Amino acid sequence: MSLLSIHAYRYWIDRIPFRESMKRSTLNITLAIGFLAVATGILVARANPATSYESSIYTGTPTITWLGFGLALAVAVSTALVCRGREQAFGIALGGTTVTSIVSLPILRNYRFSGMGDALTHLGWTRDIVNGEMAPHELFYPAVHTLASVLHYVGGVPIERGLLFSMVVLFVPFLVFVPLIVREIGGSGMAIGVAAIVSWMVLPINNVATHMGVHTNSNALFLVPVVLFAFVAYLRRRATIERLPFGLSPFSLLIFLTGIGLLLVHPQHMIGVLVLVGSIAGVQFLARRRFDDHPMLDHPTMYAHTAVLGIIFSLWAVSNDRFRNAVTGTIEGLFEEDVGGGAEVEQRDSSLEAIGGSIAELFVTMFLELAIVSLVVGFFVLLVWLGRSKLDPETKSFVNYLALALVPLSGLFLVYFLGTPTMAFRQIGFIAVILTVLAGVALAQAIGALSNVITQPGGTAVGALLLSACLVLGLLTVFSSPIIYNPGQHVTDEKFSGYETALDDADSETAIAGMGYDPYRYDHGINGLGGEETLSGGTADSGMVNSDEFEAGNYSGAYDGADYNFLVSEYEVTREIEVYQELYHSEDALADLETDPSADKLISNDEFRMYAVEGEADEEA
């Protein structure tokens, strides 16, 4: 070797630490910019609270906030895919922080409350617990309400805000444990990063039966990865020195504790967990009968866990009237005509066509990213079963566990779809959790295969673009908004005050009626349920006006001819006039009500109005 070559070699050797240091410094600056961007977005959102009803939290939130969040996510996606180790962890933390900030926008924008259906009933139950009218254990699933009560007492926040904080607290484990599961099952660094990005899409939320809000069924979905992680940890970590007394593994104990936690948030998804763990146990049983040498044979069995979780669920659920009624309703729905997902889809399609939309358009907006992820996962699982993947045997075993569990889970979806459509779309949310985990491994393998065809940077860039597009679609439908023909359920101070006055001061002998919305839920949220555990049971004499009579100007006959107090808020006006384009109620009918002799306006503010309307019997008299 010449003297010049030696000097050149030493020069480049000396330069390597400097180059690595430069790369590290550049990466640190990039991550710092990302965290600064998300912090700026949070501060701007906090400094611009909502001052009136917002039909879309997306358009109501300042543009600077979205620019900050967008920049932060761009940095997070890049670092999660390209970096490894500590730098990748920082990128995943940045993305998780940004998505959590988006989910927290109702809190950051100082919403009084968010949610007008089940959320108001959950607010009422929490109010009952705080006021001592109900003990937490008297509820079928008391975890969310108890957590909100603790935040109310300890943090001194209003009950409504405590529930919104509870929603965020239960959401965070989803972002944390999805990449941890993929890491635990032996996924590559790329798979961990991809899993984190797919978790940011929040695929379990479909805004049909699962919602980002105070909705215990949806909140429970975000705890499923915690239970799944406990399963994987039990199967992967088999050190005998970690045994507890009576031969109990600490990971077995973790399975039971996380399962009970999920049960207390909402029991429906405990059924999905039972199907999942039962499927794993079944696969293990078949593997032991068929193979003499297979990684699954080294895994501890899940037989006892299936039995114990089944017993826990049975003791909790079977003794409850609500659970029995739900099962009965599903079974009856299987044998009744015009009940089930098919009938509901036809009804939605006809309504959408009347306002210029379609089911196909709505599907693309709400489910395209889930459909893409499902197709990729399905093709990947097929390659695994055909022996065409490059996964190691251990990772392949876990992929088979989850993929085979999707078969009975999909069967459960079909039963729900034919019997109770709402339950079916909730089951889609559960399946989406499993798909999110599998997508980490599947998409990482796809990016690796693409990198072999072109180049590694090129394959990573294409993967980043595809994931970023799906991420935008996913986050665009996390909250309800007019883009999916479902305006945001923002409850303002004025609206809350209007309903409170209407329910407290109006004649208790007179029914209250809404425009396409039964207002009894506000009675739940404002006055509580008095210890009653019926989710949809009206605690007030309430209903909805007949749209045909109302539009014909027959206000006196719009509520079966009886006297009624007509309640209307900015939410109903936005939904019926702007979103539904006067399909059921028109602006003219509301304007004519102002001057109709049978109606007397009793309450009015910027967000709410109440009219006392005389029935036909009183007019004739």
Strand 564-569, strand 511-514: pairing: parallel
**Is 8 a member of any domain?**
no
Instruction: Name the average pLDDT for the chain.
Output: 88
Burial code of 120-138, b = ≥16 C-beta within 10 A, e = fewer? bbbbbbbbbbbeebbebee
Q: Backbone phi, then psi, for 204, in 5-degree steps?
A: -65, -20
- Asked if residue 85 and residue 117 are part of one domain, the reply reads no
**Is 187 a member of any domain?**
yes
Q: What's the pLDDT score for residue 321?
A: 65
Q: What is the mean pLDDT of residues 84-89?
A: 92
Q: What is the mean pLDDT of residues 419-431?
A: 88
Query: Which residues constitute the domain of residue 105?
Result: 27-111
Percent of the chain having pLDDT more than 70? 87
- Asked if residue 67 and residue 153 are part of one domain, the reply reads no
Which of 4-13, 333-342, 372-381, 413-422 has the lowest average pLDDT? 4-13
**Is 323 a member of any domain?**
yes
* Measured distance CA(475)–CA(98) in Å, rounded: 11
Q: Which of 445, 468, 484 is the last residue of a domain?
A: 484
- Asked if residue 592 and residue 446 are part of one domain, the reply reads no
Burial code of 24-44, b = ≥16 C-beta within 10 A, e = fewer? eeebeebbeebbebbebbbeb
pLDDT-derived band at 4 (thresholds 50, 70, 90) equals: very low
Give the CA distances from residue 560 to residues 510, 511, 593, 612, in Å, rounded to whole numbers and listed in that order: 13, 11, 17, 15
Bridge partner residues of 512 (DSSP): 542, 565
- Asked if residue 102 and residue 189 are part of one domain, the reply reads no
**Nearest Cα to 470, choosing from 361, 360, 372, 363?**
372
- Asked if residue 587 and residue 561 are part of one domain, the reply reads yes
For residue 202, pLDDT over 60 is answered with yes
Q: Which of 428, 463, 484 is the last residue of a domain?
A: 484
pLDDT tens for 148-175 read 999 999 999 999 999 999 999 999 999 9
Q: pTM of the full predicted structure?
A: 0.92
- Asked if residue 216 and residue 129 are part of one domain, the reply reads yes
SS3 599: strand
* Type of residue at 261: G
Q: What's the pLDDT score for residue 419?
A: 73
SS3 35: helix
614 Cβ contact partners less than 8 Å away, ≥ 6 residues apart:
556, 563, 598, 599
**Left if phi > 0, otherwise alpha if psi is -120 to 50, otherwise beta: which for 357?**
beta
* Measured distance CA(442)–CA(458) in Å, rounded: 18
For residue 519, pLDDT over 50 is answered with yes
Q: What is the mean pLDDT of residues 542-548?
A: 93
- Asked if residue 391 and residue 337 are part of one domain, the reply reads yes
Number of helices (H), then strands (E), in the chain: 26, 7
Which of 200-214, 233-247, 521-535 has the lowest average pLDDT? 233-247
pLDDT tens for 555-566 read 999 999 999 999
**Is 524 a member of any domain?**
yes
- Asked if residue 455 and residue 583 are part of one domain, the reply reads no
**Is 362 a member of any domain?**
yes
**Is 18 a member of any domain?**
no
Q: Which of 60, 91, 111 is the last residue of a domain?
A: 111
Under 8 Å between Cβ of 302 and 284: yes
DSSP of 437-459, one letter per residue? HHHHHHHHHHHHHHHHHS-HHHH
- Asked if residue 157 and residue 95 are part of one domain, the reply reads no
**Is 402 a member of any domain?**
yes
- Asked if residue 180 and residue 126 are part of one domain, the reply reads yes
- Asked if residue 122 and residue 98 are part of one domain, the reply reads no
Residue 29: CA count within 13 A, CB half-sphere: 6
* Measured distance CA(296)–CA(302) in Å, rounded: 11
Sign of the CA dihedral with 391 first, then 395, 397, and 398 last:
negative
Residue 478 burial (CB count, 10 A) = 19
pLDDT tens for 350-398 read 677 777 778 888 888 899 999 999 999 999 999 999 988 889 999 999 9
DSSP of 128-152, one letter per residue? HHHTTSS-GGGSSS-HHHHHHHHHH
Looking at the structure of the chain, the number of domains it has is 3
**Is 21 a member of any domain?**
no
For residue 113, pLDDT over 50 is answered with yes
Better-predicted residue by pLDDT, 5 or 83: 83
Residue 514 burial (CB count, 10 A) = 20
Q: Which two tokens stand for residue 367?
A: 């489910």
- Asked if residue 188 and residue 336 are part of one domain, the reply reads yes
Q: Which two tokens stand for residue 319?
A: 């003794």
Strand 511-514, strand 608-613: pairing: unpaired
